[in-house]
Structure 1
Amino acid sequence: MKKTRMRSLVIVIGILCAAATWAQTATTTAPTAKASVAAPAKIATAGGAGKVWVNSSSKTYHCEGSKFYGKTKSGEYMSEAEAKAKGNHPVKGQACAK
């Protein structure tokens, strides 16, 4: 019987210590009034009008209207001639239709 009471007492003390620690950290780490908002994804602009999207990671370029036109993580718009001059190549070796 004494062992059961002793275990119960230890459990209660442990719970009280945990609750006190939680209450202390909850008040000291309260969120600030300004909530940080993640920046929106960068949207590439100035495409179209005969420009291609060059994926700077893969050194390939995508024609206007293709699936990845302006949508890869890193890249830039430029003319097809400029893309070729900088050593980039078309996706699957197919140049853009004019």
Structure 2
Amino acid sequence: MAYLVAFHWGWLAGAFAIGLAMGWVAVVHRAPGVSRPVMLLLSALAAILVGAAVACLIPGRAGYWLELLLLLFVPYLVGCAIGTWLRALVVVRSMRTKSAA
């Protein structure tokens, strides 16, 4: 994993930046949420993939790509969370200034 972080730091920063942008935009999106059965299915799939990566069940190039996918997913999710939080701060602040004026 340390090799992946050292070698792919630019891609990790890019995943964070894309997550930041998507988190900023996601607040505006008004689509219906994911249903509970689909959410449970996706959670189980994520747990299986993480377990396979930790247990080194997938050897070779496919295992490398799986670990890289999971490693890139973390900064993307962190960027999404920060982008959503920043957007919420900006919207609340602009609502306060408009109501005060």
TM superposition score normalised by structure 2: 0.28
- Considering fraction of residues, name the structure with more helix: 2
TM superposition score normalised by structure 1: 0.29
- Give the structure with higher Rg (CA): 1
- Considering fraction of residues, name the structure with more strand: 1
